[in-house]
Structure 1
Amino acid sequence: MKVSLVVPCFNEADNLPRLFQEIDAVIAAASLDAEIILIDDGSADRSRELLVERAQQDARYKAVIFRRNYGQTAAMAAGIDHASGDVIIPLDADLQNDPADVPRLLVQIEAGFDVVSGWRKDRKDRWLSRRLPSVLANWLISRVGGVRIHDYGCTLKAYRKSVLDHVRLYGEMHRFIPILAAWAGGKVTEIVVNHRPRTAGTSKYGIGRTFKVLLDLLTVKLLGSYATKPSYFFGFVGMALVALGVVCGLAVVGIKLGDVDWQHTFSLGLLGAFLMLVGMQSVMMGLLAELQVRTYHESQSKPIYLVKETVGLDVAGTPVSLPPHRRVS
């Protein structure tokens, strides 16, 4: 079983030498058939030079260099696109994920699971800005997605390549892969993994990222429940608003017929008309979305990142959706 380690990297030059040492030690100790896909996400430090140098020195390492910063999800998508292993394991380049946990993840894959999620039970991050938002977000994601795991935000996970073949990543969608896999019939589990404090570099995460995750969660829910029938969702909302508008209208009629002196009658009638108008617009949006479903699915070949160069990778092995890029041998 071949393993592809995917390492997104953004301004982590101080951590990379030790990371390479730890990965090499784990591969040797566990006798893994492994490749390491390194993605430079537009770093401004020496990360790119270190990644290229490593890929040129060790054939197990492959480097993908982005033209600019596209974000962690795009970097992870590039690693998945270029991976040739049967199992794909992403891990952060900041040394907070422990490569020594990789063999433990593989044990669960060999036991028959399709996704093995790492759980940073003893997380070494600030409580207010990192851990508390994470706890709340993970609870909400578990409730909405229906897959009960503790730590969606942990990068260290193991995926069978087959469950990723039809997953299209964008936004912050990489953290929802366990949900997408479960919806497709995959088996998901989690194990406790080691989490270490950051010793070099600066964190790229903040509380603002939580709001982006929540918006992507809404997208996942809508796509999961209404991807092929968007008119159901918009139609339900629209009809509910129209019904409320009708109720307001009937209330106004009743007030007039009963000769009731109520100073807000005009406002109530205006609200009813507004609700009916918005409701009908929602229904029309649903019908338009229904017509766009085919276009939506056919447009998924559009790339979410542009590659500047690759090192140690065959151009023929890259996705057909990617634009031409330079290969460094």
Structure 2
Amino acid sequence: MNTRRRISLVIPFYNEEENVDNTLAVIGKVIDSTRYDWELVAINDGSRDQTLAKLHAANPENFELVVVDLSRNFGKEAALSAGLSQASGDAVIPLDADLQDPPEMIAAMLEKWEQGFEVVLARRSDRSSDGFLKRQSAEGFYRVMNRLSEVKIPDNVGDFRLMDRRVVEVVANLPESRRFMKGLFAWAGFRTTSIDYIRPEREFGETKFSGWKLWNLAVEGITSFSIAPLKIWTYVGFLVALGAFLYGSVVIARTLFFGIDVPGYASLLTVMLFMSGLQLIGLGVIGEYVGRVYLESKRRPPFVIRSVEQRGRKSA
């Protein structure tokens, strides 16, 4: 009877044909197959290149490869959720296909796990591989997110982490379809520690996350874990109403003491446009939340799996 514990690596792939062979080769070199049984859950997130063909052609020797093919491109958060649903390991480690999450850190994560920690975070101690704008926007996101939300997301920590089986089951069974995974991981809690690493440059291909996608991900995170934007507009409305009351009082007093005064149309138009802009912004914030409630009420699954194929080494 096999008593060795099983480790699952979860990697979403989207148009990563240039990285498939190198990623599988590097992982095959760094894992300790004498101590653990290994599986790599590779999720093809609707790739339009040869990513799926290369995954199907792979035949690793020291780990089992589980190829999960989604019916279309659902996005990284959904693809990661699909991978967690298929992972069978006692510990699960999500990482990126471009190897900017270095597999060499896996051994250190497993050591912390063996010490009793249920979550081991990989914290980026140096983000020099990212551009200036990306570093500043990431720093701003973590600062804003942690001020607005009761769930605190660790700074400079992505999806790269180790999670015990109990943590994975909690996250995988959450019913929501709009899934901001960093927030869900933090919400689950459990005994947590972290290790630092320096993120290397991407060797092949280009990132699939544009500035617009990162912005939408940030909005998704804030609206998924905080209602502070809704509360803020309550105070904005109060301040605007207070300002209007004070201004009205000044106009009344000036009319009583100095007679009737006809204000200019320019100032009136400016105030009207300003108030209209505030109303539209407030409606936009409310619309973000209403839209998410609407999508969640449909109860659609976050992903659809077309097929699952297992290749390579089987557990003893």
1:188-199 superposed matches below 5 A: 188-199=192-203
**Number of residues paired by the alignment?**
299
Q: Which residue pairs with 2:314 in the alignment? A: none
Q: Which residue of 1 aligns with 2:159?
A: 155
- 2:182 match: 175
How big is the alpha-carbon RMSD for the aligned residues of Structure 1 and Structure 2?
Answer: 4.3
- Going from structure 1 to structure 2, the CA distance change for 1:27 and 1:243 (only over 3 Å counts) comes to same
Query: What are the Cα deviations for residues 194-222 of structure 1, in whole angstroms up to 9, with x where unaligned?
Result: 53322222222344444234323431343
Q: Assess, with a 3 A threshold, how the Cα gap between structure 1 residues 221 and 259 changes in structure 2: closer, same or farther.
A: farther
Change (3 A) 1:41 1:253: same
Aligned residue for 1:199, secondary structure, equals coil
Distance, in Å, in 2 between the alignment partners of 1:141 and 1:258 is 50
Tell me, which stretches of 5 or more residues in structure 1 are unaligned?
314-329
Indicate the residue corresponding to 1:214 in structure 2.
Answer: 218
Q: Percent identity at matched positions?
A: 24
CA contact (8 A) 1:39 1:64 kept: yes
- Answer yes or no: is 1:103 the counterpart of 2:110: no
How far did residue 7 of structure 1 move?
0.3
d(CA) in 2 for partners of 1:53, 1:9: 15
Tell me the distance in 1 between the aligned counterparts of 2:273 and 2:137: 40
1:275 CA displacement:
5.5
User: Match for 2:303 among 302, 305, 311?
Assistant: 305
RCO (CA 8 Å, sep 6+): is it higher in 1 or 2?
A: 2
Q: Structure 1: how far apart are the matches of 2:68 and 2:82?
A: 8
Superposed displacement of residue 74, structure 1:
1.8
Query: Is 1:118 paired with 2:122?
Result: yes
Give the alignment's TM-score, normalised by structure 2: 0.73
Distance in 1 of aligned mates of 2:300 and 2:128: 37
Counterpart CA distance in 1 for 2:20 and 2:273 is 62
- CA contact 1:147–1:178 (8 Å) conserved in 2: no
SS at match of 2:120: strand
Q: 1:223-302 alignment to 2 at 5 Å?
A: 223=227, 238-259=237-258, 264=263, 267=267, 271=271, 299=297, 301-302=299-300
Q: TM-score, normalised by structure 1?
A: 0.70
**Residue number among 166, 171, 175 corresponding to 2:174 in the alignment:** 166
Asked if 1:53 is matched to 2:51, the reply is: no
Once the two structures are overlaid, the 10-residue window that deviates more, 78-87 or 3-12, is: 78-87
* Native 8 Å contact 2:118 2:191 kept in 1: yes
CA distance in 1, matches of 2:100, 2:273: 56
Amino acid at match of 1:174: M
2:74 corresponds to: 70
Corresponding letter in the other structure for 1:305: F
- Superposed CA deviations along residues 274-313 of structure 1, whole A, max 9, x for unmatched, are 959x78x979x98x999x89x7696373123333322239
Encode CA deviations 1:210-235: one digit per residue, 9 max, x unaligned.
42343234313435x69xxx7x6665
Task: Sort the Cα spacing of 1:263 and 1:188 in 2 relative to 1 into closer, same or farther, 3 A.
Answer: farther
Any conservation in 2 of the 1:35–1:60 contact (CA below 8 Å)? yes
Q: Is the 8 A contact 1:115 1:178 kept in 2?
A: no
CA contact (8 A) 1:6 1:80 kept: yes
